[in-house]
Structure 1
Amino acid sequence: MTSTSLRRALGRALCTTPILLVTSLAVAQEQKQTSAGAPLEEVIVTGSAIRRVEAEASLPVQVLDSQAIQRTGAASVVDLMQRLPTIQGATVESDAVGAATFGFSGVSVHNIGENRTLVLLNGRRMAQFGGQTLTGFAAAVDLNSIPVSAIQRVEILTSGASALYGSDAVAGVVNFITKDKTMDRDVSARYYAPEDGAQERGVSLSAGIGDYENSGWNLFVAIAGDKREELNSADRDFADSAIVNFDYGGQRWTFFNGSPRNIPANAVATTGNLAGETVSLGYLSSGSCPEGSAPVGAACYYDYVRNIQLYPERERKNANASLNIKLGEAHNLFVDALWSEAKSLSKIAPVPGELGVDVGSALYNQYLAGVVDDAGTPLFGPVDADGDGVIDPIVAPYRTFDLGQRINDDEARFYHAAIGIEGDLRGWNYDFALTQSESDVKGHIAGYPGALAFDAALASGAIDPFVGPGQQTEAGLAALNAINYRGYWDGGTSRMQTAELRASTDLFDLPNGKPVMFAAGLSHYREKFQSKPSQFAQANLDDPVAGTPAAGGPGTGDQRFGDAAASIPYGADRNVTGVFTEINVQPLEWLELSGAGRYDDYSDVGSTTNYKVSFRVTPAQQFLIRGSYGTGFHAPTVPQLNASLQNYGVTANPYDCTPDLAAIASSLGAICRPPQTQYDVFAGGNPDLTPEESEQAMLGMVFEFSREASVGLDYWWVGIKDAFGQIEETEAFANPATYPDAWTTFTDIGTGTTYIAYNQTNINTGKEYYSGIDLNADASWQLPFGKLRTQLVATYMITDKEQLTKDGPYYRNIANYSTPLDEVTFRWVGRLLTTLDHGPFSHTITMNYKSSYLDVETTVDGIDANGDFNGEVADVRLDVDDYFTLDWQSSWQITDWVRLTVGALNLFNEDPPLSLTASNFQIGYDARYYDPRGRVLFGQVSFKF
């Protein structure tokens, strides 16, 4: 089962089997088989406001009920969404390691964007994540806030721009529907056990009281909690080092993505034949580097991957309640409430940064004064590069190893409450609700000193940067501990208040007896966002540890060592009023037509009118053809419009100073960083940012061979103009002269040196196009020993191309790591699920597949059999293998009230395929696309009472 040939064969089988998009058809089929002759309940299906008998509609909706969710083996909503083939490109939990995501996890339909995918709870909007950034990152709903144990079903509208919910649903809609009006009572405990880290345990309790039909009321409450341990890079052989040795083209190569900020410190030569280059004093004297680093030129680069996590430690708690009270026979008063708290603790290597060693100081005289090149010329002679009459300090890239790992301790709290009334009034079915929703995020840090505080400790002589780990004196360790900031760093709050009214009715009957169905609605919501950087983050403190205010006033105090940034608080709000109408007619027995229009007025970006039309043709009872076309409108977030330009961290990758970059730096009165060094990043809002406008189209078919088998597909297409985003850093550094507005300057307060910095401010980048085919096949057989059911679901991507500038070239990333886009879209993603139910037992096998792609182009060095450099250098692009895993799950209904489930995710312990991507801190595989846990054994026991 683990051989390459078998994996590829199964992958091809998964990708070439014709399948049906809409899983709800299979659900409807089972209802017909088990409830023949019983009337079907009228419901609202996501994507339409018209109540109708549940069946295949003109828009594709994937439905996962609670049983289907359980059979995925997913421990959370985050895990569930990442297992679906229609979902690509969302932020995953491993991104929290080093990327300052505050633990956010999102959902992106078809890789079109998580901020273009509308996430709903019971058909109502929720507040966006309070930790969203000024570039638009995480401007979406955090899936950690939604408890999987309370979900009755998930509906995924894979055709965007819904008139019902909003024209901003460009990629689609994901609607989580919670349990209500039930007296079910259940307590469950589960445990997930990967090898060596990431163990997870959870418990949930749910109970309903009150017979809604007979007593006229029902209260359903569910509470849950889970906790996962950390997974460290040292626990996985494929990801335990920034040094990656591999075979390619019949030769042995090595890739190294280390950091020049090492311990002992390197130093940047100012004179001699190595002037401008980073060198290691130890390497110059001995020709070798200390443990934990490797030679790059004459420097020793730190292997930071040895000291990071692959998965952060995480803890979640949540509770939700649903109260329903009958008001007469035709009306219902409802109250829905959700509260959640998610905590994430992520760790990366000790903080790096640049020190300034003054010429003539004790450190200079001890370590640097006598160092010469091959010609006997001093390497660290006095230089006044800016001509101000002051000798520049020697820049020493350093790693503060003795402070321990950098820690981000993040907390995200969310609450959502809706109160309303629904029912029938004079032939109209109506729903009115008021909603209050809030996401509050707080990020705490440890392992970071202030830059000025570190400089002062260095000047005092207490700290020696040229000694190895653990070799500081007691006075040096005490000095480091005294400047180690532990406390609140940054966060934000996002709020949304909504009032909405929806109503539908049958206007009249056509001559053929079919009703003309009509719906209309009105909504208003107020959206607020406020960033909340700490006083330290705002540079308002002279002593961050003691909390001493800056004597020079706000913005003049100390800043964080290594990535000094004076954050500027920003906040804004907007009001949005919308109105929609929808009509559905069936002029012929085999033809159904629908049309919807929506008008939205944004208080900050103006108004827009959008529409969607669709059709449904059934030439035979077993055959359906459907299609739709619509337009959409996606406004920038309030931070994208209003935030001030400010420091936004550092680049994901290190870069060399090209002649073009050096010329731009000189024109700005700055210099480049030393070779293979990360650069500072700035970003800000743009009040002139134009909203995105989109067009969507879909054409599909469904064929039902019998009540037990169906097959079909849906082709979809999305076009977006005036897309907003930022120039990807890899493209900007590869072609700096092409993007003259992408550069600014940064002055290191520790050394006083002014460097060129990357300006990643929001812009309208141009046009984007996406298309693909969603496929699904479903079949079941009644066998003598039980019922066998197989379902195959997959997405085949045809187009994913984007412009980085208006009228610029298009970049494509399907099955190809496009460096300008810094991402990959998989050509094929699929799941083949087979379930056998017999008596009290149920067994499920799931095959998961992601197709191969061409990796990022990377410069590597040749090595011999002993691992020594052989002098060869090459640019390579690996073929990242297709990835196939198999999951197993078995359940035993021991009694009517006890159920036991055991299983394994990634049963054959497949490692992620090799990739040389350095998009985040993890090296050796691409953590955005693959799970590093390996085989995960799990068990769950549930009791009904």
Structure 2
Amino acid sequence: MFKEKVLAQSLRLMFSSGVALGLGVAAQQALAQEQQEQPVMQRVEVTGSSIKRIAAEGALPVTVMTAEAIRASGVTSMADLVQRMSTVQGSTGESASVGGSTFGFAGISIHNVGETRTLVLLNGKRLAQFGGQTLTGFAAGFDLNSIPLSAIERVELLTDGASALYGADAIAGVVNFITKHDRTDADITVGYSKPQDGARERRVSLTKGFGSLDEDGYNVMLTLGYDERTKLSSGDRTFADTGQRTFSQNGKQYRIQQYSPSPIPANALDDRGQLISPALRTSGSCPTKTFRVTQPYSFGGENFVDDYCGYDFVKDLEIFPERKRSNMMVSGVTKAFGQELYADVLISESRQSSRIAPVPGQIGIDAGSALHTRYLAPIGITGDSVAFYRLFDMGQRTSNDVAGFASAVFGSRGNVAGWDYDTSYNFSKSKVKGYIAGYPGALAVSNLTSSGLLDPFVGPGQQSAAAQEAIRAATYSGYWDGGVSELNSLTLNGSRELMQLSGGAMMLGMGVNFNREEYASKPSLFAQGALADPAAGTPCGGTTGLECDQRFGDAASALPYEAKRTSKGVFAELVIPVVKNLELGAAARYDNYSDFGSAVTGKASFKWSPTTSFLVRGSVGNGFHAPTVPQVNAALQSYGVTSENYTCTPGLQAVATANNAICRPGNGQYDQLAGGNPNLKPEKSRQATLGFRYEPFRALSLGLDLWTVSIRDTFGQLNEQVVFADPQRYASSWGSQVDIATGRNYLAFKADNQNLGKSYSTGIDYDITGRYRTPYGQLTSQLNISQMLRETSQLEENGEYYSALGNFAELGGVTFRNRGTWRNTLKTGNFANTLTVNFKSGYRDQETLVDVLDAGGNVTGQEDVRYKVGSFATVDWQTVWTPGAMWSITAGVLNLTDKEPPFVPSTSGAGRGQQFGYDDRYYDARGRTAYVNASYKF
């Protein structure tokens, strides 16, 4: 089963003594004999509690996914597994790296409460945050690519806040990856996945255990894994192969164009500041890979029309990146002095390559220059101009990202003086390096133009041989940016029985921890704008007297910084079985941060089981989440561009003038600035859950958990659409950036870190499992649904509340009202066949300006449209054949009907790539995917 609730066994264990009281003597003796024949149940520590106890349904909603359940889902990575879990929303996927600076990060967010508020553990131990996190807090979580799927024994998912037990960032919940331990067998698995045309995967893993802890006094587990995936290009998917699409809604036909104003040959500004296409003016048509864009607008009482050729950059995208991953994990344990000494070492590396359209940028064209005389003067441009150009002959822009992760845990556990204890030292480090190719310096391109070598008004491949050689010489290929995140932790946890109550033993858990967190941003000299010749590595400024260059098309000048934080914590937990069928729990924690003072968090819970088949549980608690060290300490610096294009309204012109800057010409993206905020306050939360488990008979089990989370002083940035809609109201949200290539000082949007206000989220998680023996074998059917009831947030302190629930608008993303899976497995002899339905509800897309078409396909005007994206469902099939104890062969098809993602006209949103025609955050472009895995145990 994909989501395994072991209720039947748990309730039997919990209430076997109570059942025995109602039996006759013979029945009691038979039950006692059965219990004696079973292995002794060991006390274990379950996610959500620090107390070791017999595994059972507890007061908190914990979902357990075994290795077998994960294999049955057909996924090949932790990142893919997360995307299929009904309780997970708002997670960053690998496709976000297409045009985005994510370094291939893949995270997890429970209930869309946030990746930074979802704590990821490995064998109960904290892990370093991603080394490629940004100064706004994006990717300040754990990268799931670092977890080897082949090493996992089970995954425990706690969908309730656990700040009182684990620390500051467990507001949304906890994901605990438990690796294989104390096994002596060996397993080798090979696999292959084949979507149509691209994104094909090959994988191999080996797991081997040495020694038995009980018999030999030691055990060592070794896991090795490697997998690779090929690229998937936009041209291989009809729903993603162009930036010009038509669609219909409410009986009308519309057209939307996603493009760049920088094509090849170049566009240019005329004397009125309108963007035109010299190629279109002279030939009457737009060149290859472009389409005509006509945009009327008014400014200062005058009417203007931009009439140019927009570049269809969507055609050049690789919508699913190429990837190679390797990992090794070694776990060892030995007995000494009656205790267990253990060590877990994980080393992993993920290499990802993504490619997008050749680099665009702007080039100044002086009046009277050779280029001006040849191309611009004949079409009536008399003054200085700017060419909007794409350096096509330099090839696609390529990002090669390397994310390395290492973790080492050394500890001791056992029982001393009646205490079950676990003490350990944990070191983990995430090191990320981003390499680029296909980028020149802006000054280098300007020099090529002024020298007469580069002609921005000719087509691809039409530059002279000397110009082609100069373009190659100006190309930068090498390290661009990265970072290092490191965590050192010392922990000591213990639990014991305090006294016997009428309901059982009263248990106490206690623990202390010390954490040291460090982060260093490591941009290259090129990214810092500290080179005169990036391709040659020539330094600038200082005694050299040389002007500093920046990346063509960017106002990029990142600043290196380092920051660190220490924290100390102590917690205590009580489990109080008041009477036989009622258990109360309480936990409290005190944390002290070197930069944010102290905080006290707590949790209270209960579990009531009036009968052996029915259980009610609930909890209430609070949380405290300090911002990341970059969110507080990073200097104000360049931070990419806005997600949408904007025209210069009178309000925008006013703030540009106030900042001694000018608007971007036409309809284009604006530079962004971002930085740390030393006045940022920590987030504080309140969480609660209430649920039940019911098993009326052995073949049926039901469960429901209602949850709610409220957070105040949420971290974030002012929404760009809101700020651009009323720019003068947000006067502090603006700055300026000088374009090196043209010398123009353009207005820039400041997306700095702020406390935005409050957010509220409420939902219900359901699961129903039925088991039925048919003439063809055992049939198990399981339905899991996560339903959101409320989701609302403020975009500024004391401001209006907005909701993303079924609504992609002001918050920059969607919260699906319903997500779920329905899995049906029929086991017949040595075959197991599984049919799975994955579904999510629809939503209203962001308001988007589109062209209105008549019956002949002609544009008759423009209209703001909110497209209705329908519900979406896919079907998976899997067959597992186990011919013997050693062999297992799994074959299946994901997205059996090859259903395409729904059309989505909007283009903005946090964590979104450059893909167009669908939203890559929520829908998989790979389509029908056949796969096979073969395992051999020896």
TM-score class normalised by the smaller sequence: over 0.9
Partner Cα distance (1:743, 1:27) in 2: 60
Give the counterpart letter for 2:478 in structure 1.
Answer: G
Partner Cα distance (1:681, 1:722) in 2: 23
The answer for the alignment partner of 2:880 in structure 1 is 891
Contact 1:21 1:712 in 2 (8 A): no
Q: What TM-score, normalized to structure 1?
A: 0.94
Q: Summarize the alignment of residues 542-621 of structure 1 with structure 2, pairs less than 5 Å apart.
A: 542-552=532-542, 557-621=548-612
Partner Cα distance (2:243, 2:2) in 1: 43
Answer yes or no: is 1:287 the counterpart of 2:296.
Answer: no
The answer for the alignment partner of 1:345 in structure 2 is 353
Contact 1:42 1:53 in 2 (8 A): yes
Give the counterpart letter for 2:424 in structure 1.
Answer: A
What displacement does 1:708 show? 2.2
2:932 alignment partner, one of 918, 939, 943? 939
Partner Cα distance (1:747, 1:36) in 2: 79
> Is the partner of 2:99 in helix, strand or coil?
helix
> Is the partner of 2:891 in helix, strand or coil?
strand
Partner Cα distance (2:868, 2:13) in 1: 46
Deviates further, 917-926 or 193-202: 917-926
The answer for the alignment partner of 1:840 in structure 2 is 830
Partner Cα distance (1:491, 1:556) in 2: 25
Answer yes or no: is 1:746 the counterpart of 2:743.
Answer: no
The answer for the alignment partner of 1:316 in structure 2 is 325
> Is the partner of 1:98 in helix, strand or coil?
coil
Give the counterpart letter for 1:823 in structure 2.
Answer: G
Partner Cα distance (1:28, 1:315) in 2: 41
Q: Summarize the alignment of residues 648-797 of structure 1 with structure 2, pairs less than 5 Å apart.
A: 648-797=639-788
Partner Cα distance (1:663, 1:502) in 2: 60
Contact 2:11 2:612 in 1 (8 A): no
What displacement does 1:36 show? 5.8
1:497 alignment partner, one of 488, 491, 507? 488
Change (3 A) 1:828 1:176: same
Change (3 A) 1:22 1:895: closer
Partner Cα distance (1:285, 1:30) in 2: 83
Unaligned runs of 5+ in 1: 1-18, 373-379, 383-392
The answer for the alignment partner of 1:176 in structure 2 is 177
Change (3 A) 1:446 1:31: farther
Deviates further, 283-292 or 741-750: 283-292
Partner Cα distance (1:458, 1:75) in 2: 49
What displacement does 1:859 show? 1.4
> Is the partner of 1:751 in helix, strand or coil?
coil
Partner Cα distance (1:834, 1:850) in 2: 18
1:485 alignment partner, one of 466, 476, 486? 476
Partner Cα distance (1:55, 1:692) in 2: 33
What displacement does 1:54 show? 1.0
Contact 1:632 1:695 in 2 (8 A): yes
- Cα-to-partner distance string for 1:340-375 (whole Å, 9 max, x where unaligned): 000010011111111101111111111111223xxx
Identity level (%): 48
The answer for the alignment partner of 2:790 in structure 1 is 799
Partner Cα distance (2:402, 2:8) in 1: 40
Change (3 A) 1:826 1:303: same
Give the counterpart letter for 1:933 in structure 2.
Answer: R
The answer for the alignment partner of 2:424 in structure 1 is 433
Unaligned runs of 5+ in 2: 17-30, 295-306
Partner Cα distance (1:59, 1:24) in 2: 14
Partner Cα distance (1:422, 1:552) in 2: 58
Answer yes or no: is 1:930 the counterpart of 2:934.
Answer: no
- Cα-to-partner distance string for 1:456-484 (whole Å, 9 max, x where unaligned): 11111110000111111111111111110
The answer for the alignment partner of 1:822 in structure 2 is 812
- Cα-to-partner distance string for 1:216-272 (whole Å, 9 max, x where unaligned): 1000000000000000100000000111111222232210011111111100112xx
Give the counterpart letter for 1:503 in structure 2.
Answer: G
Partner Cα distance (1:823, 1:89) in 2: 8
The answer for the alignment partner of 2:76 in structure 1 is 75
Answer yes or no: is 1:422 the counterpart of 2:395.
Answer: no
Q: What TM-score, normalized to structure 2?
A: 0.94
Change (3 A) 1:903 1:513: closer
What displacement does 1:426 show? 1.2
After superposition, the CA RMSD in angstroms is 1.8
Q: Summarize the alignment of residues 225-264 of structure 1 with structure 2, pairs less than 5 Å apart.
A: 225-264=226-265
Contact 1:189 1:202 in 2 (8 A): yes
Answer yes or no: is 1:533 the counterpart of 2:526.
Answer: no
Deviates further, 136-145 or 534-543: 534-543
Contact 2:3 2:64 in 1 (8 A): no
- Cα-to-partner distance string for 1:810-858 (whole Å, 9 max, x where unaligned): 110111112x211000000000011111211111111000101111111
Contact 2:163 2:601 in 1 (8 A): no
Change (3 A) 1:895 1:120: same
Q: Summarize the alignment of residues 321-340 of structure 1 with structure 2, pairs less than 5 Å apart.
A: 321-328=330-337, 330-340=338-348
What displacement does 1:202 show? 0.3
Change (3 A) 1:648 1:537: same
1:364 alignment partner, one of 372, 380, 388? 372
Partner Cα distance (1:603, 1:120) in 2: 23
What displacement does 1:291 show? 1.9
The answer for the alignment partner of 1:277 in structure 2 is 274
The answer for the alignment partner of 1:389 in structure 2 is none
Change (3 A) 1:848 1:486: same
Contact 2:673 2:750 in 1 (8 A): yes
- Cα-to-partner distance string for 1:514-561 (whole Å, 9 max, x where unaligned): 211000000001000001000111111111111111144699521100
What displacement does 1:586 show? 1.2
What displacement does 1:901 show? 0.8
What displacement does 1:797 show? 0.4
Partner Cα distance (1:861, 1:225) in 2: 48
Q: Summarize the alignment of residues 621-640 of structure 1 with structure 2, pairs less than 5 Å apart.
A: 621-640=612-631
Change (3 A) 1:940 1:730: same
- Cα-to-partner distance string for 1:739-767 (whole Å, 9 max, x where unaligned): 22111101101101111001011011111
- Cα-to-partner distance string for 1:432-489 (whole Å, 9 max, x where unaligned): 0001100000000001000111111111111000011111111111111111000000
- Cα-to-partner distance string for 1:409-437 (whole Å, 9 max, x where unaligned): 00000000000000011111000000110
Give the counterpart letter for 1:515 in structure 2.
Answer: A
Partner Cα distance (2:814, 2:770) in 1: 32
Change (3 A) 1:591 1:226: same
The answer for the alignment partner of 1:518 in structure 2 is 508
- Cα-to-partner distance string for 1:314-333 (whole Å, 9 max, x where unaligned): 110001011010124x4111
Contact 1:20 1:774 in 2 (8 A): no
The answer for the alignment partner of 2:157 in structure 1 is 156
Deviates further, 278-287 or 303-312: 278-287
Deviates further, 332-341 or 858-867: 858-867
The answer for the alignment partner of 1:408 in structure 2 is 399
Answer yes or no: is 1:305 the counterpart of 2:324.
Answer: no
Contact 2:11 2:57 in 1 (8 A): no
Change (3 A) 1:934 1:420: same
> Is the partner of 2:653 in helix, strand or coil?
helix
The answer for the alignment partner of 2:197 in structure 1 is 196
Partner Cα distance (1:36, 1:780) in 2: 24
Contact 1:851 1:882 in 2 (8 A): yes
What displacement does 1:709 show? 1.2
Partner Cα distance (1:553, 1:63) in 2: 63
